Amino acid sequence: MWPVDPDDFAPGVSKPEDLDHDESWYFLVLDGQLVCVSEQGIPRPVTGDELRWLDVELVSSHYLGRFRDRHCFAAEAEGPVPEGYAATGLFSWLGRVEPSVFYLAGRAQQVVEWHNSHQYCGRCAERMQDHPEDRAKRCPSCGLVSYPRLAPSIIVLVTRGDEMLLARNANWPTGMYSTLAGFVEPGESIEQTVHREVEEEVGLKVGNLRYLGSQSWPFPNSLMLGFHADYAGGEIVCQEEEISDARWFACDDLPNVPPATAISRWLIDAFVHEVQSR
Ligand SMILES: [Zn+2]
C-alpha cells in the first residue's frame, strides 16, 4: 500500500484568520495543468510568497485545509506559464511526490474542476452560491445542494489456488496485464459490482470477496475499492472490445503489471505474499 498518515492533513473550508500566507501552498491549476516548482525533478506546489510575484490572474481560490504545518489552497489561474515554473498533468506527480502530496494535488484539481462545472444550478439554472460550512454549493432559488462528485469503482484480483487472473484491456500499452475494474452503478452494492464486473469482463463466477483497501484515483474523480475474490466457476470469455486477453498466471511467472503507485499492483503483491507464506 501507498502509506498515508491520517494526521498529515486536516481538511477545512474556511481559511483561518491566523493563516501564514507566505508559507501556504497553492495548487495552481492553469489550463487544466498544475503549476509547480521543480526541485531536482520533484514537483512541489507554489508558495504564497512565490504566488505574489507571478504574472498570473487568479480566477478562483479554495481553501483546502492544513497539511502538516502549511495551509493549502486550490486555485485556478489564467495567463502564460510563468518563467522558471512548469505546468504538468497530475499524472506526472504520481510516484514522484510523496503519496499524501499526490492525493492533496488530486483533491485540489477535483475541487477546481467541480467549482467550474457547478457554477449554475443543474435543476433551475440559477447561479449557485458557496455553502458556508461544507464543501458544497447551494442554489438560492430551488435549494439544490451539489457536492464534489466522486465515481466509486471496484478493482478485483480473482484467484484460483496459487494462480491469479490478470487481463489486458484493449486500450492499454502492449503487454500490460492487470486486475479487473469497473464503475459502481446506481442501486448496486460494492459487492454486487464485483460479481457483475467479473462476469461481464471475463464470464466467471466469484465468491468469498475480501476487501483489502482503497485508493483515490483522481483521473478524473474515481475512488477505487480493492478486493480479492475466489474463482467459483465458469470458463474465461473476454468481453468484446473491452478485454483483449485474460489468463491465469502463477506468482513466479507474471507478465508486465502496473507500477507500485496503483492499487491493482497492491492487490497483486498482497496475493503473491500470501502464496509465498503458505
Ligand atoms: Zn436551482
Mean pLDDT (the chain) is 95
**C-alpha 188 to ligand 1 mean position (Å):** 28
Cα distances (Å, whole numbers) of residue 275 to 102, 160, 198, 228? 31, 11, 22, 13
Percent of the chain with pLDDT over 70: 100
User: Distance, CA 218 to ligand 1 centroid (Å)?
Assistant: 28
Give pLDDT tens digits for 72-115. Answer: 999 999 999 999 999 999 999 999 999 999 999 999 999 999 99
SS3 7: coil
Phi then psi dihedrals of residue 196, to 5 deg: -65, -45
Answer whether residue 220 shows pLDDT above 70: yes
d(CA 232, ligand 1 centre) in Å = 48
Distance separating alpha carbons of residues 183 and 193, to the nearest angstrom: 8
Greater confidence, 14 or 156? 156
pLDDT tens per residue, range 25-38: 999 999 999 999 98
If you measure from the C-alpha of residue 145 to the centroid of ligand 1, how many angstroms do you get, rounded to a whole number? 9
Q: What is the pLDDT of residue 18?
A: 81
28 Cα to the center of ligand 1, angstroms? 29
Check pLDDT > 90 for residue 276. yes
Tens digits of residue pLDDT in 154-187:
999 999 999 999 999 988 877 899 999 999 999 9
pLDDT of residue 51 exceeding 80: yes
Backbone angles phi, psi at 76, to 5 degrees: -110, 140
CA of 107 to the centre of ligand 1 (A): 26
Amino acid 1: pLDDT: 67
CA-CA distance, 14 to 63, in Å (whole number)?
6
Residue ranges of domains in the chain, CATH in brackets: 9-117 (3.90.79), 151-276 (3.90.79.10)
Pairing between β-strand 9-11 and β-strand 25-30 as defined by DSSP bridges: unpaired
Residue 213 and residue 226 in contact, taking contact as beta carbons nearer than 8 Å? yes
Distance from CA of residue 2 to its chain's centroid?
Answer: 13
Q: Measured in angstroms, how far is the CA atom of residue 25 from the centroid of ligand 1? A: 34
Whole-number Å distance, alpha carbon 127 to ligand 1 midpoint, is 8
Characterise 203 by phi-psi region: left (phi > 0), alpha (psi -120 to 50), beta (else).
left
Q: How far is the CA of 184 from the centre of ligand 1 (A)?
A: 27
Distance of CA 251 to the CA centre of its chain: 27
**Centroid of ligand 1 to alpha carbon of 121 (angstroms):** 5
